[in-house]
Chain A
């Protein structure tokens, strides 16, 4: 069977890791928003798989109103509406990101301080450069802030950390967006429906890849 490329520590290790991470963050930077203790209960080992779930169904969410506004605006700048699909903000991908950073699992806990600190940096930068909240800026102003941090190898040295935040936030926004029905439609994924037969790739596909 194919394996996913994610580390999978056992639960005991995970909890130990979480406690250590939270403690060391607190020591390193007492102002870090990420140092807040996460909830410790996940969805468990036996949960009804036939239900539809929403962020907040299993663990408490984190964002306050200000953080939610910043995250929504950033989602909208990374994936804006165009003629093929709506924006990530209008699909509430920021709520998914809130669910993600609030989850008790090791991978998500690792993202928590980076995302919360990153959102704070975005707000600080927005105030410093444009004297306003990120969500209230003109789209062009938001894009200016993002342009400085959108590619870590090109970012100025003092912006490296912000660029790593942006990279992660963009990946989360993309994953959150393209898994929605509207996002899947945007990519022209047309599966997940019963078919009478499976014929393989159509001729135009075979031609394009040099096999017909």
Chain B
């Protein structure tokens, strides 16, 4: 990326955007396309997926055959730089020693943040998801409805490129005609799950993922996205024409050098930079937002990690898009006489109601998939299908024992062999070795499937973060201390997940790998993943209709400071089972338009 160094920043910008991922990328894109001068600050290093992505390296050329380690928690070739659940020199702490009461905080330290490695699952929140309290009396309603966000979902999907199909299912919204790209054909294991899922109430349909299955229509889409803005249309048309369609190889988690999937670094930042309105400084660790005498945000203070020096930059407005908890941390560290408990925190709710998705998984061995004729199953580098939540009526009637839904992500088959291939076969082979083992490995390769539930967590009083009173990071900035608790709403849901997966595995004629949750009297609190492990971090500065009970309004603007916005997941008033990225992008677009309108009105 063509970046600037810290000393070359201008004296004044229209907007400072903190963070370069889904939220920061979309915010900078919308603002710069409309002519605003933007300074983006990224805490990590520069990163160029076109040059750095390992596209065809197999596992034999990676240390430890590419397996996950604490330094590369999603495997060696995964597109995560400088982070994971641990970031060197930047600790965080836990209020409790009990793992069940801890939150594992994922951060990347690279241009584009976690958009470089994410799963590309692009599921819209539905109408129920924005009004959960109205529906079952729990949690909070959002101060906006699906209809308010739907146009931005359409725009976001057209911009980033999403495959999928409209199924007309309850609370699983359709996109407008002409928005989605065609979904890829399902793989053998996905077809089997679709067939046998029906008998256990699991409806398998094409998933929506941010991967191009065909070239983007660079002649039609720019005019739809930027009517009356010929310059923006021209820039976007060029950027879209430079993106290739998927060539059906290499996992998306490595990133994509041909720009066939969505990463901020390949989709948002190139056109934003092409406007000439965007300056980006990397290795810029923001400590606090500064205020002027009128109580308006007038800039930020950051540490230039390359020199360790403290720097100030100024702007007419500030947008925090650092990742929910990192944005919260900046607010809590921005203390002043006016805001002794942290900026925009007169409600006392900054740091409260942090959420993750509920996660639980189960594997199965499916005899029907043994010894299949060789064929290429790489596909779009991730899932082609999933099972949305469909049991809304029986759930609302109280028949399930937990109030909110989950969707199922599934996969397996003849993927590129990794460290697990040929492993764990003892229970199927009675310990074969030698030539028999080679026969067994051929037979079982491709016959394993994995099912993972991703469910809604209801915000609760026990899941929050505060500043640690003692611990500071390498840059002298106070760190976050997390408190966490799953409630029975979540643990019962997790139990339902694994039992459903076991039923599905049985329906497919398969065997559960490991202990069968239907036999062992499994408890949800044992199978639920630790908080933070699904990396769907949301909340911490929730939006609402009432300044006393929320941190921002429905434009993602803080109630206390009218030129300060949060465009990441921090404002989420609930955490539906849908993966959060597309909602972050849609709301960032909507918030940025509001910011532009306010700025043009002269509000700040």
**Contacting A79 at CB < 8 Å: which of B65, B372, B437?**
B437
Contact across chains for B420 and A175 when beta carbons are under 8 A apart:
yes
Contact across chains for B421 and A49 when beta carbons are under 8 A apart:
no
B424 at the interface (CB under 8 A from A): yes
Contact across chains for B441 and A187 when beta carbons are under 8 A apart:
yes
Contact across chains for B430 and A151 when beta carbons are under 8 A apart:
yes
A19 at the interface (CB under 8 A from B): no
| Interface pick from B13-21, B181-189, B338-346, B596-604 | B181-189
A64 at the interface (CB under 8 A from B): no
Contact across chains for B529 and A108 when beta carbons are under 8 A apart:
no
**Given the known A-B contacts A78-B433, A175-B422, are A99 and B64 also in contact in the complex, defined by CB atoms under 8 Å?**
yes
B401 at the interface (CB under 8 A from A): no
**Given the known A-B contacts A11-B70, A209-B369, are A195 and B431 also in contact in the complex, defined by CB atoms under 8 Å?**
no
Contact across chains for B74 and A4 when beta carbons are under 8 A apart:
yes
Contact across chains for A204 and B373 when beta carbons are under 8 A apart:
yes
Contact across chains for B421 and A174 when beta carbons are under 8 A apart:
yes
List of A residues within 8 angstroms of B34 by Cβ = none
**Given the known A-B contacts A184-B416, A190-B374, A190-B375, are A45 and B424 also in contact in the complex, defined by CB atoms under 8 Å?**
no
**Given the known A-B contacts A175-B422, A209-B192, are A146 and B63 also in contact in the complex, defined by CB atoms under 8 Å?**
no
CB 8 Å contact bits of A143-168 with B (1 = contact, 0 = none): 10010001110100000000000110
Question: Smallest CB–CB gap between A126 and chain B, Å?
Answer: 16
A77 at the interface (CB under 8 A from B): yes
Contact across chains for A195 and B247 when beta carbons are under 8 A apart:
yes
Question: Smallest CB–CB gap between A107 and chain B, Å?
Answer: 8
Q: Which residue of A lies closest to B61 (CB)?
A: A52
Q: Is chain B's interface secondary structure helix, strand, loop, or mixed overall?
A: loop
Bound CA–CA A184/B441 (angstroms): 11
List of A residues within 8 angstroms of B535 by Cβ = 1
Bound CA–CA A99/B64 (angstroms): 7
Q: Is chain A's interface secondary structure helix, strand, loop, or mixed overall?
A: loop
List of A residues within 8 angstroms of B254 by Cβ = 49
Contact across chains for B188 and A209 when beta carbons are under 8 A apart:
yes
CB 8 Å contact bits of B192-233 with A (1 = contact, 0 = none): 100100000000000000000000000000000000000000
**Contacting B249 at CB < 8 Å: which of A151, A192, A208?**
A192
- Residue of B186, B433, B442 with most partner-chain A CB within 10 A: B433
Q: Which residue of A lies closest to B533 (CB)?
A: A3
Within 8 A of A (CB), among B102-147: 104, 109, 118-119, 121
Bound CA–CA A199/B186 (angstroms): 9
**Given the known A-B contacts A46-B45, A209-B188, are A191 and B249 also in contact in the complex, defined by CB atoms under 8 Å?**
yes
List of A residues within 8 angstroms of B421 by Cβ = 174-175, 178-179, 187
Contact across chains for B445 and A202 when beta carbons are under 8 A apart:
no
B276 at the interface (CB under 8 A from A): no
A96 at the interface (CB under 8 A from B): yes
A176 at the interface (CB under 8 A from B): yes
Number of interface residues of A (CB under 8 A): 83
Contact across chains for A170 and B437 when beta carbons are under 8 A apart:
yes
List of B residues within 8 angstroms of A44 by Cβ = 71
List of B residues within 8 angstroms of A108 by Cβ = 64
List of B residues within 8 angstroms of A188 by Cβ = 374, 442
| Interface pick from B35-43, B376-384, B496-504, B550-558 | B376-384
Q: Besides A170-B426, A181-B58, A211-B191, 11 other CB < 8 A contacts?
A: A6-B68, A45-B109, A100-B64, A103-B64, A108-B64, A184-B417, A190-B376, A191-B416, A193-B56, A200-B186, A209-B188
Sort A-B residue pairs by CB-CB distance and give the 6 closest, nearest first: A151-B431, A200-B185, A174-B422, A188-B374, A191-B378, A1-B119
- Measuring CB to CB, which residues of chain B are less than 8 angstroms from any residue of chain A? 45, 52-54, 56-77, 81-88, 91, 104, 109, 118-119, 121, 184-188, 191-192, 195, 246-250, 253-254, 359, 361, 368-369, 372-380, 409, 411, 414-426, 430-435, 437-438, 441-442, 445-446, 450, 452, 529, 533-535
25 A-B residue contacts at CB 8 Å? A1-B74, A1-B253, A4-B75, A10-B85, A11-B86, A14-B70, A44-B71, A45-B82, A45-B83, A49-B254, A50-B53, A53-B61, A78-B433, A79-B437, A170-B426, A174-B437, A175-B423, A179-B59, A187-B441, A189-B445, A190-B376, A198-B184, A198-B379, A202-B373, A210-B368
